[in-house]
Structure 1
Amino acid sequence: MKKAIILFVLSLTLGLLTACGNNSSSAETGQTVRIGYFPNINHVPAMVAKAEGFYQEQLGDDITIKYQTFADGGAFMNALKTGEIEAGLVGPGPAMNHYSNGTDVKIIGAGSTGGTVIMARNGSNIENLEDIKGKTFITPRVGCTHDVQFETYMKENGITSERIGGEMVHTTGKPATYESMFESGKVDVAVAPEPWASVLQLEADAEPIIDETEVSFGTTLPASVLATSGDLIEENPELVQSIVDAHKQATTYINENPEEAKTLAINEIAEVTGQELSKEVMDLAWDNIGFTYKVDAETIQAFGDSSYDLEFLKEEPDFSDLIDTQFIEE
């Protein structure tokens, strides 16, 4: 009887120790939070937050942080919709378009402003807006932020794309390929997010024909926004707040340490795209960008109205419930 009791106690003790070991392993594994962004200068806050460990600092050591880069907003939004990522930086255009089509997305902060420059290929004989008629222009994706900015500006000047009965020919492609597209003569105009506009200017002898302050919504529209899902906000607002806090921390770092941020951006873009930008390119591009986490809701609504006018959206948008500023308010 005594032997049986000893064996029972020993078994119970081992069981408790095993259970404690499992709990410890679970705590070490923890939750995984996946952050998405693009390898361009408008998304530098995500690069800085990654490199400086701000996400890890704000989320805690029991959280595993993973990062995923995207070539365009459609791919990012699909990843958010299917739960492949929890949050990240994307252009406002894709966020608005997918929200209008029923995707559960919330804009919880801004990432940057500016950075969209319209470049003409050397040899395209484009000297003014009228010369763009009949020419081929390239954007990262149909209806993306940069596309809407350019087509809004052109429509205000009486010129539209073939998609809506006009004369401009539209094609799409990754910004990192724009230089080769210019060299081959396949496109005449590039609607280029920085730093690719500066690459074209310095390395392909291209000319800016519409700068970042002139193009529609150029200085007021967030060039990138911090987005997540409404479900995550409802289920884990503390997690969302930590993500926003890391983003704010990165934005402050960028504005206080621009040279260090430029170096981080050069290294990250090289790692993702295989293209190492020169310091000269980065310096030129940096002058066309501003970094802020505050969202201008009125501009986003005006941008959405223009997207509808250009027929990228099927229904007139109402973005009053798209933006959630509770996490960025001081």
Structure 2
Amino acid sequence: MKTNPQAGLLAVWLVIPLSTSASEEARQLRLGHFPNITHAQAVYARAGGQFERKIGVPIKWSSFNAGPTAIEALFTDAIDATFVGPNPAINGFIKSRGEKFVIIAGGASGGSGLVVRQDADIQNEKDFDGKTIATPQLGNTQDVAARVWFGERGYQLREKGGTLTLLPLSNPDQLTMFRKKQIDGAWTVEPWLSRLEFESGGELFLDEKKLWPNGRYVTTHLAVSKRFLAGNRKLITNLLAALVEVTQQINADKAAAAQVLNAELKRETGKALPDAVIARAMERVEFTWDPISSSLRKSAEAAHKIGFLRTHPDLKGIYSLTTLNEVLQEKHLAAVAE
């Protein structure tokens, strides 16, 4: 009987695994972030290579304007992990029934608020009738915060028969329309808060930290694909160790860190920030590995209250902080709570 050598080779090829080992870790990390001060650890490490040196593989960076887009990239397996704000993470976790990703660390607290034009005749909470306020993206963290705050003060949106307009606009477009007096204010995040103040004559009407216990709330945390986490435990441990170390470096000398961040922001966005802008932005943001989990749950309740979440949010399993706490213990640092 004749045999087919090619068929034999095909059979052998079919039983050979695509990787040399079923437990072999990834050869790169696809990591998302925003070119914002509230994503400082990612920006800083992208400039200096601290993450790559610690994890031992290259990083393919992806830059986003707002959280919903970053979460969608996780859903479509375009990235393995991303720094992102709380509300897109909440929405994504619920949408995927908790199957796509988990939060493994914090990144930043603070740095969000409402800036208004000085000539917009806004002196107090009662002056927003007929005004147009921008947010970075429909459903992003600042957008939900704005909707909750205005709703609690009795405002109805124009599309629902009210007098207030909330307009989703990218941060650069906010700056342009603010200067042209086409919007009256913006609820956004650093460094755009400070840019609206220094570059466009805006005035900080509300620092969001005033709305939170002890002024602490999660602005940024680190989420990772469940599948990637399961297959790359050592890489993730090293990434978290690098995150802690970079956070410490930034906090140890914010003035020096600001120079590194500004140079990288210029490389990523094409424009450096004025010294006064980045200095004020750095003052308003707390850089931390703590995800401040209690604030995430409060944000979820708020999103449910205003109808962004149709059912009561079940966030059980959204955190996976064991590895972070092991890293912190090894560094003789306090554990964080889920």
TM-score category of the 2 structures, normalised to the smaller one = 0.7 to 0.9
Aligned to 1:318: 314
Matched-pair contact (CA < 8 Å) for 1:294–1:328:
no
Give the Cα–Cα distance (whole angstroms) in 2 for the partners of residues 165 and 93 of structure 1.
26
Residue among 248, 264, 270 paired with 1:268:
264
TM-score (norm 1): 0.86
Partner of residue 15, structure 2: none
Distance of 1:165 and 1:249 partners within structure 2? 51
Q: CA separation in 2, counterparts of 1:322 and 1:224?
A: 15
Post-superposition CA distance 1:228-274 (Å, at most 9, x none): 11122222222221222221121111111211211122112222222
Aligned counterpart, 2:90: 96
User: d(CA) in 2 for partners of 1:291 and 1:284?
Assistant: 14
Residue 219 of structure 1 aligns to which amino acid in structure 2?
A: G
Matched, 1:86 2:70: no
In structure 2, the CA distance between the partners of 1:40 and 1:217, relative to structure 1 (3 Å rule), is: farther
Separation (CA, whole Å) in 2 of partners of 1:327 and 1:47: 23
Q: What are the superposed Cα offsets for residues 113-140 of structure 1, whole Å, 9 maximum, x if unpaired?
A: 0001201123211111111122111111
1:57-72 counterparts in 2 under 5 A? 57-60=53-56, 63-72=57-66
Give the distance between the partners of 1:52 and 1:176, measured in 2 at CA: 26
The equivalent position to 1:171 in structure 2, one of 141, 155, 167, is: 167
Partner of 1:197: 193
Corresponding residue SS for 1:131: coil
Q: Could you say which residue in structure 2 is the equivalent of 1:184? A: 180
Cross-structure match for 1:8: none
Distance 2:136 2:82 in 1: 18
TM-score normalised by length of structure 2? 0.84
Preserved CA contact (<8 Å) 2:41 2:247: yes
Aligned residues: 301
Q: Which residue of 1 aligns with 2:304?
A: 308
Q: Does 1:36 align with 2:21?
A: no
Match of 1:76 among 63, 70, 74: 70
Q: 1:300: Cα distance to partner?
A: 0.8
SS at match of 2:127: helix
Shift of 1:275: 2.5
The whole-number CA distance in structure 1 between the counterparts of 2:93 and 2:79 is 17
**Cα offset, 1:171, TM superposition:** 1.1
1:215 deviates by: 4.2
Indicate the SS of the match to 2:256: helix
Uncovered stretches (5+) of structure 1, i.e. residues with no partner: 1-22
Check 1:316–1:120 CA distance in 2 against 1; reply closer, same or farther (3 A cut): same
1:1-330 mapped onto 2 (5 Å cutoff): 31-60=27-56, 63-102=57-96, 104-162=100-158, 166-215=162-211, 219-329=215-325, 330=328
Q: CA deviation at 1:201?
A: 0.9
Partner Cα separation in structure 1 for residue 196 and residue 213 of structure 2: 22
> Matched residues in 2 for 1:184 and 1:218: separation?
37
Q: What is the RMSD computed on CA atoms of the aligned residues?
A: 2.0
Find the residue that maps to 2:322 and give its secondary structure: coil
Contact 2:266 2:272 in 1 (8 A): yes
The aligned amino acid for 2:36 is: N
SS in 1 for 2:324: coil
Residue 238 to residue 160, structure 1, CA distance change in 2 (3 Å)? farther
SS of residue in 2 equivalent to 1:129: coil
One-letter amino acid matched to 2:293: A
% same residue: 28
Q: Which amino acid aligns with 2:221?
A: V
SS at match of 2:91: helix
Q: Which runs of 5+ in 2 are unaligned?
A: 1-19, 329-338
Partner Cα distance (2:167, 2:213) in 1 = 22
Deviation for aligned residue 1:225 = 0.7
Of the structure 1 ranges 220-229 and 206-215, higher mean CA displacement relative to structure 2 is found in 206-215
